[in-house]
């Protein structure tokens, strides 16, 4: 048995988890290369390590593009409250953030709606969200679910699947990009460069705990 986002357990339960901070890092680069105000908003569900790490990676990546960029981070304590996502993103936009990122499942739909209403941009996350608001969502950093299953099945076939937690990322083909319709080539080049560095282990998780 393999459980998503869980630790493995002897004798026969394996765990798989996505290194979501790697997705947050790429979202930070995209956002930083599209902000005019040098202000970004990052919304998280709960301040769990995996989510806090994603938002921290977003901020670190953005500031590799421009150290003067300010990132406002807020947790909404929900995975599903679309209205809360909208209200939070509206407040961020009104305070000057012109690109919004959200790592909080359905809450992200509210943040995209707010970004659209305020005429600012958003970066989609986990699921492909470009079609939600094509003129608002710059691009989406997504799970490659087939890649996630492929990795696990290959380990099973090869007799390599163990009752431990596995941490997977770009190098394991479990994250992917859905590019928006107007993304400039220099943004794509920078993102692809960062993905290569993540695959090679040259970029590490910036999260140090709270």
pLDDT value at position 18?
86
Residue 173 lies in a domain: yes
Q: Looking at the domain assignment, is residue 207 inside a domain?
A: no
Is 209 inside any structural domain? no
Let me know if residue 160 belongs to a domain: yes
Task: Express each pLDDT in 40-88 by its tens digit.
Answer: 999 999 999 999 999 999 999 999 999 999 999 999 999 999 999 999 9
Residue 120 within a domain: yes
**Is the residue at 205 inside a domain?**
no
The total number of structural domains that make up the chain: 1
For 104, the domain range is: 2-199
Instruction: State pTM to two decimals.
Output: 0.90
Helix pair 107-118, 82-94: axis angle to 10 deg: 40
**H/E stretch holding 141:** strand 137-143
Question: Could you tell me if residue 62 is inside a domain?
Answer: yes
Residue at 31 is within a domain: yes
Identify the CATH number of the domain in which residue 136 sits. 3.40.50.2300
pLDDT (tens digit per residue) in 103-155:
999 999 999 999 999 999 999 999 999 999 999 999 999 998 776 666 666 66
CB 144 within 8 A of CB 175: yes
């Amino acid at each position: 048995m393999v459980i998503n986002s869980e630790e493995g357990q002897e004798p026969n339960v394996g765990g798989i988890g996505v290194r979501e901070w790697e997705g947050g890092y790429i979202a930070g680069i995209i956002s930083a290369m599209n902000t005019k105000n040098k202000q970004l908003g990052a919304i998280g569900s709960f301040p769990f390590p995996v989510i806090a790490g994603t938002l921290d990676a977003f901020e670190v990546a953005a500031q590799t593009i421009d150290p003067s960029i300010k990132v406002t981070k807020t947790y909404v304590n929900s995975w599903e409250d679309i209205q809360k996502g909208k209200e939070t993103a509206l407040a961020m936009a009104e305070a000057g953030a012109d690109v919004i990122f959200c790592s909080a499942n359905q809450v992200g739909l509210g943040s995209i709606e707010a970004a659209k209403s305020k005429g600012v941009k958003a970066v989609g996350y986990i699921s492909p969200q470009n079609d939600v608001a094509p003129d608002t969502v710059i691009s989406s950093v997504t799970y490659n679910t087939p890649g996630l299953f492929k990795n696990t099945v290959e380990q099973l076939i090869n007799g390599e699947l163990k009752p431990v937690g596995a941490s997977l990322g770009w190098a394991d083909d479990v994250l992917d990009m859905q590019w928006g319709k107007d993304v400039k080539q220099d943004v794509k080049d920078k993102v692809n460069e960062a993905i290569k560095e993540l695959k090679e282990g040259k970029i590490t998780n910036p999260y140090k705990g709270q």
